């Protein structure tokens, strides 16, 4: 082994270390195991992250349970004030948050900043919690009897979030949970954990009490400990369908309230009357943005005859001009994939698709990389044409920059393709026919629909979530359904006897 040079020593000193955040401060214990953090643009290890287990989860949940009574009794106005303060701090630190995301996930700087902005929309929504928790009141439902409803926090809530949106997806959860009076334990992805710790610091600076928000890093052991802990009353999850099903089954078996958002295979129907330039732009933006690593990415274009050949040609023209490179370079439009193993898995679908009969119209393995290092986890935009629903590249959620084109002879056939999918997350239709668009939104079996909008992610005051195998549980995230998920309803019936009632009446209230 060669002796360490000064450069080697500097590199080692530059390696960062990420751990847990428990009871308002960084965890300083000795981790039993840890994992590596990579820079996807270079393939180099940029840091390490501690992996928590049952002990660390117990400490985080214990801190959350201890903080719960005081935070739950904090007035709505004061809770909202903390959300307002956090919103301003997060906005001021957007560049720092985005930089952490780019460095560990690989997405380009503009995409990372956009992720933070979309997450802050939910924080904006949570700032309105005094209005969102208003109940109903009915006077004199029986003689001298009033009835009203209130919503109260469920207790300690947990969020288990994916690598592709390390800031936005947690912000779909904890702002509403905290504003409603719950305390929270976040288990972020171990692939890009740094954003979670900056968020925890900003919440503390905003005035959130110690223990109200905690972070436990790690993998399955930490997840299982959260699902088994008696003090965790609600669990939110975003990730793949197999894991979503696992979270739902084990969480509900333990008596918890669970919302588990799973995978997707999002389709974009292009009718013959569509503006093909608009549709091609949308397919490229929605298919290859964030290197296709998002659950709302368009992964299948369903081209209704006779537009398929022309649409593929226009998509190819746009892909040829895309700049693939490191996310911190201003000219980069698409970055690397998150890990080498994931890159290899995604690239494997190009070969398997061809083996099953698809045509490889665009091979992203040949796309030039601008300013990137050879060790980076690179795969350029790719397109498989003449794909059928029987192929593995269609059935599986690839979660990368691979766009499949399915040809359909009619609107009815295109609809059949989508409704036959086991997933039901998002879909889009491109057409200039309002009647066709209206019919599609009514007939398609998907939770979120876009009309000439390729990624129909709803605003924060609506709720996000799909149908079928894209959602396990009864409620979607954020919006009104998010408020309902993190609260329990209570109905109160009250009677205050008039001073002139003339005596005590303990009878059951009835109409008279």
In degrees rounded to 5, what are phi and psi of residue 79?
-65, -45
CB 322 within 8 A of CB 333: yes
CA-to-CA distance for 51 and 229, rounded, in angstroms? 18
CA-to-CA distance for 236 and 28, rounded, in angstroms? 27
CA-to-CA distance for 146 and 139, rounded, in angstroms? 5
Q: Which residues does 4 contact at the CB level (< 8 Å), separation at least 6?
A: 12
Cis peptide before 477 (omega within 30 of 0): no
Place of tokens 């009203």: 148
Interior angle at CA 176, CA 241 and CA 208, nearest 5? 120
- State the DSSP code for 364: G
CA-to-CA distance for 154 and 241, rounded, in angstroms? 26
CA-to-CA distance for 118 and 438, rounded, in angstroms? 27
Closest CA relative to residue 223, chosen from 60, 26, 425:
60
Active site residues per annotation? 295
CA-to-CA distance for 479 and 477, rounded, in angstroms? 7
CA-to-CA distance for 328 and 113, rounded, in angstroms? 12
Interior angle at CA 392, CA 409 and CA 367, nearest 5? 90
CB 303 within 8 A of CB 407: yes
Helix (H) or strand (E) holding 301: strand 298-304
Q: Which residues does 318 contact at the CB level (< 8 Å), separation at least 6?
A: 280, 281, 284
CB 5 within 8 A of CB 337: no
Query: What separation in angstroms does the CA of 454 have from each of 58, 220, 271, 295?
Result: 42, 33, 14, 13
Give the strands of the sheet with 137-142, arranged side by side.
Answer: 137-142, 145-153, 487-495
Helix (H) or strand (E) holding 125: helix 109-126
Class of residue 11 by CB neighbours under 10 A (exposed 0-12, middle 13-18, buried 19+): middle
């Amino acid at each position: 082994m060669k002796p360490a040079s000064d450069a080697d020593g500097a590199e080692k000193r530059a390696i960062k270390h990420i751990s847990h955040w428990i009871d308002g401060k960084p965890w300083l214990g000795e981790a039993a195991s840890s994992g590596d953090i990579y820079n996807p643009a270079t393939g180099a290890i940029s840091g390490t992250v501690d992996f928590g287990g049952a002990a660390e989860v117990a400490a985080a949940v214990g801190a959350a349970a201890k903080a719960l009574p005081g935070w739950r009794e904090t007035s709505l106005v004061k809770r909202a004030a903390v959300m307002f303060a956090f919103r301003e701090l997060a906005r001021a630190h957007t560049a720092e948050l985005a930089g952490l995301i780019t460095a560990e996930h690989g997405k380009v700087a503009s995409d990372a900043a956009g992720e933070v902005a979309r997450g802050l929309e939910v924080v904006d929504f949570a700032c309105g919690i005094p209005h969102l928790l208003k109940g109903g009141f009915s006077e004199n439902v029986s003689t001298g009897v009033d009835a009203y409803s209130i919503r109260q926090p469920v207790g300690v809530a947990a969020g288990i979030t994916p690598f592709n949106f390390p800031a936005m997806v947690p912000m779909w959860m904890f702002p509403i949970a905290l504003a409603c009076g719950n305390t929270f334990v976040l288990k972020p992805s171990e692939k890009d954990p740094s954003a979670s710790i900056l968020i925890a610091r900003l919440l503390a600076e905003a005035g959130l009490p110690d223990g109200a928000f905690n972070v436990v890093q790690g993998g399955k052991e930490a997840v299982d400990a959260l699902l088994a802990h008696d003090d965790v009353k609600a669990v939110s999850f975003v990730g793949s369908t197999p894991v979503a099903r696992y979270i739902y089954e084990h969480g509900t078996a333990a008596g918890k309230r669970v919302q588990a958002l799973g995978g997707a295979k999002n389709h974009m129907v292009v009718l013959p009357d569509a503006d093909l330039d608009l549709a091609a732009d949308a397919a490229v933006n929605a298919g290859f943005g964030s290197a296709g690593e998002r659950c709302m990415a368009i992964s299948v274009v369903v081209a209704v005859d006779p537009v398929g050949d022309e649409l593929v040609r226009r998509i190819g023209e746009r892909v040829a001009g895309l700049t693939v490179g490191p996310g911190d370079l201003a000219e980069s439009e698409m970055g690397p994939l998150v890990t080498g193993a994931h890159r290899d898995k995604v690239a494997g679908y190009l070969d398997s698709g061809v083996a099953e009969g698809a045509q490889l119209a665009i091979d992203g393995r040949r796309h030039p990389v601008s300013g990137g290092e050879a060790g980076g986890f690179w795969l350029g935009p790719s397109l498989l044409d003449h794909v059928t629903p029987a192929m593995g590249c269609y059935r599986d959620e690839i979660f990368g920059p691979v766009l499949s084109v399915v040809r359909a002879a009619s609107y009815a056939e295109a609809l059949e393709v989508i409704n036959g999918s086991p997933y039901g997350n998002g879909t889009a239709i491109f057409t200039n026919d309002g009647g066709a668009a209206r019919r599609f939104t009514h007939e398609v079996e998907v939770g979120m629909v876009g009309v000439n909008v390729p990624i129909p992610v709803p605003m924060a005051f609506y709720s996000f979530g799909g149908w079928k195998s894209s959602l396990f549980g009864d409620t979607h995230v954020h919006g009104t359904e998010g408020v309902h998920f993190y609260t329990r309803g209570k109905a109160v019936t009250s009677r205050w006897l008039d001073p002139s009632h003339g005596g005590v009446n303990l009878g059951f209230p009835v109409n008279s």
